[in-house]
C-alpha cells in the first residue's frame, strides 16, 4: 500500500468529472487499498478517487468510531434521496482546516459495486448519508465550498492559495 497525494482546492483537477470503472480488477483493488490508507492517515472519513488525481468513480468511507469498517463504493449512483434536508458542518481533505454548513438530504439509497465487483445496495442516514453525498460530489467535479456564497468561496480560495505558496517556499 502507498500514501497518495491529496489534491487541494482550488486545484483544477478537482473539477474533473470521474469516468465509470470498467472492471474491478487488481489495479482497482490496489487503488482502493491505497485510498483507504491515505484516508486513514489524513484522519478523514471519506475520500473520492478524484481527490487523489484518479478520475474514476470510486469512493471509500469509514464513519465508524473504531475506524475499522471501511466502505468501498465503485460506480456509485444515488437511486433515492430524502426530500427532508439538514444543514451540517462539513470539512474536506482537499480543503484542510475549513468547515462550513452544507444542506443535504438526511437519507439516501445508493447502488454500487464493492471492492470485489459485486453489486450492492445501501441505505444510509446521518453522517454516512452526508459523507456519501459529499464524496459523490467529488466524482462530479464539485467541492463542498461550491455550496457556499461567492464571498466565502473566494476567501477560502485565497487562503488555500496562500497556504500553498507558503508550503512551496518552505
Q: Which of 135, 146, 166, 168 is the catalytic position? A: 135
Beta carbons of 148 and 156 less than 8 angstroms apart: yes
What SS3 class is residue 65? Answer: coil
Instruction: Return d(Cα 137, Cα 143) in angstroms, integer.
Output: 7
Please enumerate in sequence order all residues whose Cβ is within 8 A of that of 161, keeping only pairs 6 or more positions apart, or say none: 10
Grid coordinates in use for 46?
Answer: 471519506
- The answer to whether 134 is a known ligand-binding residue is yes
Beta strand pairing call for 107-113 and 95-105: unpaired
A 10 A CB-CB count for 26 gives 8
Residue found under cell 502507498: 2
Instruction: Determine whether 166 is an active site residue.
Output: no
Q: Is 55 annotated as a binding residue?
A: no
* Closest to 89 measured CA to CA, from 60, 123, 128, 130: 130
Q: Which residues are the active-site residues? A: 135
Q: Give the residue ranges of the annotated binding site for Fe cation.
A: 92, 134, 138
Q: Give the residue ranges of the annotated binding site.
A: 92, 134, 138
Amino acid at each position: 500500500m502507498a500514501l497518495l497525494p491529496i489534491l487541494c482546492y482550488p486545484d483544477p483537477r478537482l473539477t474533473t468529472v470521474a469516468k465509470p470503472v470498467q472492471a474491478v480488477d487488481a489495479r482497482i483493488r490496489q487503488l482502493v487499498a491505497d485510498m483507504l490508507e491515505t484516508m486513514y492517515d489524513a484522519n478523514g472519513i471519506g475520500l473520492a478517487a478524484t481527490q487523489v488525481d484518479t478520475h474514476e468513480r470510486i469512493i471509500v468511507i469509514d464513519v465508524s468510531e473504531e475506524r475499522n469498517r471501511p466502505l468501498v463504493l465503485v460506480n456509485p449512483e444515488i437511486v433515492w434521496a430524502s426530500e427532508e434536508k439538514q444543514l451540517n458542518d462539513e470539512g474536506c481533505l482537499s480543503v484542510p482546516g475549513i468547515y462550513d454548513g452544507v444542506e443535504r438530504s438526511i437519507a439516501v439509497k445508493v447502488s454500487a459495486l464493492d471492492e470485489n465487483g459485486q453489486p450492492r445496495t445501501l441505505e444510509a442516514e446521518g453522517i454516512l448519508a452526508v459523507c456519501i453525498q459529499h464524496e459523490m460530489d467529488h466524482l462530479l467535479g464539485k467541492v463542498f465550498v461550491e455550496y457556499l456564497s461567492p464571498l466565502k468561496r473566494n476567501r477560502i480560495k485565497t487562503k488555500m492559495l496562500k497556504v500553498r505558496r507558503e508550503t512551496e517556499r518552505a
